Homo-oligomer: A and B are copies of this chain.
Amino acid sequence: MQRIANLIVLKDHQVLLLKKPRRNWYVAPGGKMESGESIYNAAIREFKEETNTIPIEPHLKGVYTMVVQDEHTDMENEWMLFTFVSHDLEGIPFEVTKEGILEWHPVEALAHLPMAEGDRTNLQFAVSGQGVQYGTFVYTHDFDLIKEDIQASYEGEKQ
């Protein structure tokens, strides 16, 4: 099962996003975990590779079960997504990479920039939600969102 870690930096009210060439959809920098890697180390490594910068004090904001249904074969492909936030980074990000174009946008732009609808839910929570979000997203093969089921929890002051 594939495991993807991604990371959104929110700094000075701006978020760093990667515009992918295929549909001009925006994503948070990230990629596949390697075998034996922790999700934390994977998020940092992938972010470094894709941006040429080091995220400062990343923190986990979401764990998602992703299901892609293929309507033709009735097969499902399931994978896990781990979404981190950082509030600072070290270095100057690439502008153009082999994965796409890196751009800073005002955090409010997450509401309307073109992206997968599940990513919008996740990235908005990562930059403004309290605690950790969980959920299942079911997509068609063309990445239309069929279903989402979301939960969240917050540790508060209980301890």
Is the pair A37, B65 in contact by a Cβ cutoff of 8 Å?
yes
Say yes or no: is A1 at the interface (Cβ < 8 Å to chain B): yes
Say yes or no: is A38 at the interface (Cβ < 8 Å to chain B): yes
A35 to B66, CA, bound (A): 10
Q: Which of A20-28, A89-97, A128-136 contacts B (4 or more CB under 8 A)?
A: A128-136
Given the known A-B contacts A35-B76, A37-B136, A76-B35, are A82 and B58 also in contact in the complex, defined by CB atoms under 8 Å?
Answer: no
Q: Which residues does chain B contribute within 8 Å of A64, judged by CB atoms?
A: 38
**Size of the chain A interface, CB-CB below 8 angstroms:** 38
Interface residues of A in 53-84 (CB under 8 A from B): 57-60, 63-65, 67, 76, 78, 80, 82
Q: Which residues does chain B contribute within 8 Å of A59, judged by CB atoms?
A: 131-132, 153-155
Q: Which residues does chain B contribute within 8 Å of A41, judged by CB atoms?
A: 134, 151
Is the pair A60, B63 in contact by a Cβ cutoff of 8 Å?
yes
Say yes or no: is A120 at the interface (Cβ < 8 Å to chain B): no
Is the pair B65, A149 in contact by a Cβ cutoff of 8 Å?
no
A134 to B41, CA, bound (A): 9
Say yes or no: is A112 at the interface (Cβ < 8 Å to chain B): no
Say yes or no: is A3 at the interface (Cβ < 8 Å to chain B): yes
Which of B36, B38, B128, B151 is in CB contact (< 8 Å) with A38?
A: B151
> Using a CB–CB distance below 8 Å, which chain A residues touch chain B?
1, 3, 33, 35-41, 57-60, 63-65, 67, 76, 78, 80, 82, 87, 128, 130-132, 134-136, 138, 149, 151, 153-155, 158-159
8 chain-A/chain-B pairs, Cβ below 8 angstroms: A1-B1, A35-B67, A36-B78, A36-B136, A39-B63, A40-B134, A40-B135, A60-B60
